[in-house]
Amino acid sequence: MTDAESKLWSRLRNRQLDNVKFVRQFPIGPYVTDFAARSIRLAIELDGGQHSEGKDAERTKIIEAHGYRVIRFWNNDVMENVEGVLEAIVHEMHIARGE
């Protein structure tokens, strides 16, 4: 697990965020997402310097085809502004719930 994944997981685990259960390394189709909230079909992906826009776009498309909403963050955003990342996740959680 990267430092960014570890930092974000420490804030997602044990239903800390809006009482939603997140899991790590969740398989969706041929991919394994960094985090997922199965109950609201939300997948979170963290990207570092090794990611490719084209491959990430294809990956997102396939995960979405399995009925999941996908949100992506850069590792450095998590490391430098975890509160802002959490706010964005909560916003996406509300959208995923239709609120």
Q: Which domains does the chain have, with CATH numbers?
A: 3-97 (3.40.960.10)
* 14 token code pair: 């044990």
Q: For residues 47 and 88, what is the distance between their CA atoms, to the nearest angstrom?
A: 16
What is the pLDDT at residue 73?
96
* 61 token code pair: 């498309």
Angle, alpha carbons 16-43-1 (nearest 5°): 75
Tens digit of each residue's pLDDT (9 = 90 or more) over 27-74: 999 999 999 999 999 999 998 876 566 788 889 999 999 999 999 999
Q: With 60 as the cut, is the pLDDT of residue 95 above it?
A: yes
pTM: 0.90
Buried b (16+ CB within 10 A) or exposed e, 41-80: bbbbbbbeeeeeeeeeeebbeebeeeebbbbebebebbee
Alpha helices in 2-74 (DSSP H): 3-12, 53-65
Q: What is the DSSP letter of 20?
A: -
